[in-house]
Chain A
Amino acid sequence: MGEGATALAGGTDLMVEVNFGHTRPENVVALRRVEELAQWEGGRIGAGVTWRRLERDGPRALAQAARTVGSPQIRNAGTLGGNVGTASPAGDGLPFLAAVDASIELASESGRRTLRWDDFFIGVKKTARRPDELISAIQLPEALPDRQEFAKIGVRNAMVIATVYCVVTRAEDGETRVALGSVAPTTIRARRAEELISSVASPGEEDLREFARLVSEEVTPITDHRSTEQYRRHSSGVLARRLLERCLR
């Protein structure tokens, strides 16, 4: 992408900034009708794939997340690549990408490179994308865990930026992943909780309680106009435990 150009996908983030006068891009590269970006083959999801398509055809927890994004109007327009590019701590698709260790594919005139999610997301709305790079695709691993669940907590069902987002996955061998959004500057994994529960074949009440406690301990939320630090910390543990229990059923 040319120097100083702004990429526009579904417009659900950028156009809000434009309408409110927060940004006034001089050169916009409109990506909505770039066919290559809408391609989706196996685990390689083109950056231009919309929530609407993910809701229908995505892996279970990503489809669950897509289904709760905004409204039909927003899901028809917004894309996974745009969600990744905006890199909001509250990005709906990001906990799933973190849970499965997805990679972000970046394209520029000098070629393509792929960064793992935790090398790509470096802060609140900050990524490792160079200005000349375009997010071209999101690469999921070949094998995804059978058990995967997504949920978020917010004040209403539609059109809400939630206060906690969570994905829990559990593989046949017990390996468990827990990813959370809106409770740290970037989407995070609760690695100590993962480690604890992955080695337990049939978690009992004690294990589940300790799992929830560790999740609450590992998140680093803030208090803002949407929620408090305390509530986010508490609900992170509750939500992760609930999703783990669904995975174990």
Chain B
Amino acid sequence: MIVSFKLNGEETTARVTGPLSLLDMLRDEVGLPGSKSACEQGECGSCSIVLDGELVCSCLVLAGDVEGSEVTTVEGVAGADVLHPVQEAMHEAGAVQCGFCTPGFVVAAVDLFESNPSPTTSEIKEALAGNICRCTGYGAIIRAFEQLAGRGT
């Protein structure tokens, strides 16, 4: 089937066969590899995207279910040559180790700061509870967002 949807603000179509996840469609059919494929069961958050305004794991969305929907991936959170404040904060704080989990953290944090511009540390931790960093670089990640929230030291 052909799926038509709005991806990062642009009308997009993709061809899918069989029960394919949105994640696989984004990576393999559309050619946007920013969303990462790791656990494929919604536990690691590395494939986080925003679907019709809701932060979700794209591995748990059926590709055909986004017909007519709006999807924002990590590629769409900022303009081509600029960083989103969330990305800048991570860059500043050195909140990246191997980088595999970073896109998911970026999308989840953008979603957090859109609804809550100055989250507390525990709000940051709760909002990112669905994103796993196996380098266990959480300290720097949390510090980055404390800074952005104006709570850093």
Contacts and interface: CB of A to CB of B under 8 A. Distances in A.
Contacts of A158: 129-130
B72 to A, nearest CB: 14
Interface in B34-83: 40-43, 45, 48, 52, 54-57, 59-62, 64-65
Contacts of A12: 42, 60
Contacts of A28: 19, 62, 64
B53 to A, nearest CB: 9
A76 interface: yes
Contacts of A123: none
B21 interface: yes
Interface in B81-126: 108, 111, 126
Q: How large is the interface on A (under 10, 10 to 19, 20 to 34, 35 or more residues)?
A: 20 to 34
Interface residues of B, number: 28
Given A19-B59, A158-B129, A70 B64 contact: no
Contacts of B64: 28, 30
A110 interface: no
A71 B129 contact: yes
B139 interface: no
Interface in A96-118: none
Most buried by B among A20, A52, A70: A70
B60 A71 contact: no
Contact of B40 (A20, A25, A30, A32): A20
A73 interface: yes
A74 B44 CA distance: 11
A210 B58 CA distance: 48
B67 to A, nearest CB: 9
Interface in A22-49: 24-25, 28, 30, 32-33
Given A10-B60, A11-B61, A77-B54, A72 B19 contact: no
A159 B56 contact: no
Given A10-B60, A11-B62, A73 B42 contact: yes
A6 to B, nearest CB: 9
Given A11-B62, A74-B42, A77-B57, A18 B19 contact: yes
A157 interface: yes
Given A28-B64, A77-B42, 19 more contacts: A15-B61, A16-B60, A19-B21, A20-B40, A20-B41, A24-B19, A30-B62, A71-B45, A71-B130, A72-B130, A73-B55, A74-B57, A74-B60, A74-B130, A77-B57, A77-B60, A158-B129, A159-B130, A159-B132
20 contacts: A11-B65, A12-B42, A15-B42, A18-B62, A19-B40, A19-B41, A28-B19, A30-B65, A52-B54, A71-B130, A72-B55, A72-B108, A73-B56, A73-B130, A74-B60, A76-B55, A77-B60, A77-B61, A159-B130, A159-B132
Interface of B: 18-19, 21, 40-43, 45, 48, 52, 54-57, 59-62, 64-65, 108, 111, 126-127, 129-132
